[in-house]
Amino acid sequence: MSALLLAALALFCADARAAEEPTDAVLIRPPETRSRIQGLTWISKGLSYLREPGEKPGEAPLKIRLQGRFERKNWLLSAPRQRIELMSTGQFDIVVPVRSEITKVTFVAVSPLGEIQTEVVLVRSHEGAWRKNAPEKERKPGARRLTLSAGLGWTYLAYREDPGNIRLSEVALTPKFVAAYPLLPGKIDLGANIFFNVVSLTHSPSTINSVRFLGVNGRFGFTLPARWAGATWKLLTGWYLWTMRTEGRAYGVDLLSGPQLFLSAAKFPKEGRGWFGYLKYAPIGDIREGISLSHRELAIGGGVQLLSKPNRWGWAITLDLTDARYESELQGNSLVLNTATLGVQASLL
């Protein structure tokens, strides 16, 4: 009797541990307002890679089992290169190959009268799962993913310049574009972004012309071995270009540039909202005068995903704060610029 109780307890603990094990990927359906197959529901949302007994990560192409139910009488359901066999309950399961961090799978349903419905689902691997488990040949340069995102923010800026006693406050609309490319996934990354104040919504005093700013960043760096707060940390360096324009060039400076040091952190859990943040220090100067550590821009910013479940667009709300200070011996002026930008951001790739 005691042996049976111990066996039952061991089985219960094993099941509990299995339930707590993190999955490798999630299944993402299109919104209900977009194309969905009527009568098709999904049983499996959290997915794990399939492996043969004794098979180690990275030894074979990845596969994942999808389980669902299709409840339309006499309709046929198929997936790429395979017809799906339905049980009497309408339940089914199929195995699909996973060849990238985000894999699209198209399902087609056909009625007895020839009506066709389609649905495209995404199998999205969790952070690090694809990199850890995929064969090396599928992680070759051609298989790496370039990521692009775009944002739009409302920027409040306060600008001071002397001599001239210029004091300006302004609210502007600021688009921002960000690109990242893993040169060596999990080790070395390339990145770039560009932002500019495209429209001045209001400024004060009205006797001073409004101002436009343009910034361009190029960076490369390394993933740090630390996992503080469960996040991925990166240290990057590169070059920063910064310029401002006013009508008639009534005040301000032209092109400033300099090196930058950039520390970033990001965490995208399997459940709950992901977040990201950064710190930047960039000495800036006119190339005719050289660069001084006292002439610099400091920036801090980050974002939080708006949705707690994975989403194709990865919508996030963002906040960026900057403090820039510069003094020109050639032009004989000095300036201080403080900005705060609240915006939204979405993934394009």
Check whether residue 202 and residue 114 sit in a common domain: no
Check whether residue 274 and residue 193 sit in a common domain: yes
Q: Which of 92, 114, 140 is the last residue of a domain?
A: 140
Residue 237 maps to which CATH number? 2.40.128.90
Check whether residue 203 and residue 269 sit in a common domain: yes
**pTM of the predicted protein model:** 0.62
What is the C-alpha separation between 200 and 210, in angstroms, rounded? 7
Is position 33 within any domain? yes
Is position 10 within any domain? no
Q: What is the pLDDT of residue 118?
A: 92
Is position 14 within any domain? no
Check whether residue 159 and residue 117 sit in a common domain: no
Is position 241 within any domain? yes
Is position 318 within any domain? yes
Check whether residue 94 and residue 219 sit in a common domain: no
Q: What is the pLDDT of residue 135?
A: 72
Distance from the Cα of residue 34 to its chain's centroid:
23
Is position 4 within any domain? no
Count CB neighbours of 225 within 10 A.
Answer: 6
In this prediction, the residues of the chain whose per-residue pLDDT falls under 70 are 1-22, 33, 54-55, 57-59, 127-128, 136-144, 270, 309-312
Residue 55 maps to which CATH number? 2.60.40
Q: What is the pLDDT of residue 169?
A: 97
Check whether residue 135 and residue 154 sit in a common domain: no
What is the C-alpha separation between 184 and 227, in angstroms, rounded? 19
Is position 11 within any domain? no
> What three-state secondary structure class fits 145?
coil
Q: Which of 140, 157, 175 is the last residue of a domain?
A: 140
Which amino acid, one-letter code, is at 348?
A: L
Residue 259, both tokens: 């090196």
Phi, psi of 46 (to 5 degrees): -90, 130
Q: What is the pLDDT of residue 5?
A: 40
Domain that holds residue 61: 22-140
Contact between residue 26 and residue 46 where contact means Cβ atoms under 8 Å apart: yes
Q: What is the pLDDT of residue 45?
A: 72
Q: Count how many domains the chain has.
A: 2
CA-nearest of 84, 87, 76, 85 to 113 is 76
Q: Which of 140, 170, 190 is the last residue of a domain?
A: 140
User: Which H or E run includes 107?
Assistant: strand 102-110
CA-nearest of 214, 212, 284, 215 to 248 is 212
Check whether residue 54 and residue 178 sit in a common domain: no
Is position 303 within any domain? yes
* Max Cα-Cα span within the chain: 93
What is the C-alpha separation between 337 and 157, in angstroms, rounded? 7
Check whether residue 249 and residue 294 sit in a common domain: yes
